[in-house]
Every structure is written in structure tokens, then in C-alpha cells.
Amino acid sequence: MAWAVGRIVCIANQKGGVGKTTTAVNLAAGLAMAGNRTLLVDMDPQCNATGAVGSVPLPHHPLVGDSQISECLAETSVENLLLLPGSRSFHDVDQLARSEGSEAEKLRNHLSDGLRDYDYVLLDCPPSIGTLTQAALGASTEVLMPIQCEYFAMEGLTQMIHVIRRVMQQTDGRLTFGGILLTMYDPTLELTHEVDQEVREFFGDIVFDSVVPRDVALSESPSHGKSVYQYAPRSRGAFAYTQLCMEVLGRD
């Protein structure tokens, strides 16, 4: 199998509401604005990443059937950024979710074969550790995990990391841990500092220095079909994702 030359980053966490799609969309936009050929892949049946860049879901999931991924790409308003839209088709999502054995391998191959010729590919996964997420991990070179600064931040991480390590073994170490990102960061709360300290003490250098604050601009921008850079370029959220983008580029 021929793999993409660039970096394929899986944005994953089994918990919902941790800023996963927000990170996928704005990190992809930031990397593209820095001059990198970037592809955003929406693997979540909710299709939030698709709408967040002003596109619409496809009638059928691009990863189901024999269609080439390149035939399903959509332009975005950000230069250098293309989108592989998601689909809300219950039949297609069910077919993907039931993939196992040779079918799961076929899904991984189909996904990886469509990720050539990009500097960066970002995969926005559903909030689960099911087949779609594991297929994304298997096709990626690294995984980035957003963690919300809340009481249950560490909940479920053990199971998620177990899945990641298993995929690392299956891919002979090609998948690496790209980093952990603290999101919804409120420096005025003692709990935020407690979570920050606990995560950094446990995971060490793989935790990004950058943190993403609570910012209304990050919440509003998807409803306008824009990244935070386009919607509110001077916002705290835009600054935070610029810092994250610089860190990701620095880890190349």
C-alpha cells in the first residue's frame, strides 16, 4: 500500500463536546493559510465539520462504495483547504459501523488511498472508539486528542489510549501520539488549573503548550460556515489556534 507523504492527523476523543470538530476545522484552516495543501475529512455522521466550512453533507458517504475520494472533494473559502464532506445516510453509517475483518481493512485502504498529495490531512472523528475512529487511526500518522478542562477530563482516556496503542502495534509504529490539547480553558477557575496540572504531570511533553480558551467566537463561527480566522480574526480563539498551528508545524 502506498501511503501519503504528508502528515495525516486524526482528531479523536470518545467524549463528545470537547472541541474536537472546532479543533479539526480551525487547525486545518490555519495550516492551509500557512501555505500547506490541506484536506479536512469529515468522518462524523453528524457532519458538523462539513457545515462549519460552509458545505453540505453528501447523499452517500464517500467511504462507502467504489467512488474515488478525489471525486467527492469540495472547495472551501479558505485557500489551500479542501473538504471531504460527511454523510448522514443511516444506511451508509450503519454499513461503516458494521465493518469488521476484511471489510474494516478495505475501509482503511480506501481511506488511505485517497490521502495522497497533501501536506496535511485532518480527520474529524465521531465521539466514539468504534470502527470509523479506528479506521481513521489506522490510516493516520498521528493522533491529536482534545481534552476539555472539566472534572471528567480524564474519564475514558485509559480506554482511548488502549485503542491507540493497539493501532500503533497494528501499523508497526507508523501511528504516533501527536499531542493532547486542553480546550475550553478558563484561567479564572481553580478547576482548570487542577486539570491542567494533572494532565501535564501524567502525559508530560506530549501536551501542547497552547490551550484553547472558552470564546464565543469559536461557538458562533460554525453557524456562519466560517473558520474562526474568517469570522473573528482578532478573537482569543483565533489567537489560540494560531499558536497551536505554530506548535504543530514546529513538531514536523
- 132-145 core/surface letters (b: 16 or more CB in 10 A; e: else): bbbbbbbbbbbbbb
What's the pLDDT at 3? Answer: 38
Within a domain: 251: no
Judged against a pLDDT cut of 80, whether residue 116 lies above it is answered with: no
Bridging pattern class, strands 142-148 and 7-11? parallel
* 3-state SS class at 70: helix
Query: In this predicted model, what pLDDT tens digit does every residue of 152-196 receive, in sequence order?
Result: 877 767 778 888 988 888 877 789 999 999 999 999 999 999 999
Does residue 2 lie within any of the structural domains? no
> Residue 102: inside a domain, yes or no?
yes
Number of domains in the chain: 1
Q: Which domain holds residue 216?
A: 7-246
CATH of the domain at 61: 3.40.50.300
Which residues have a Cβ under 8 Å from the Cβ of 218 and sit 6 or more positions away? 19, 22, 26, 212, 228, 235, 237
In a domain, 58, yes or no: yes
Residue 1 covered by a domain: no
Q: Considering the domain boundaries, does residue 39 fall inside one?
A: yes
> d(Cα 23, Cα 40) in Å, to the nearest integer?
11
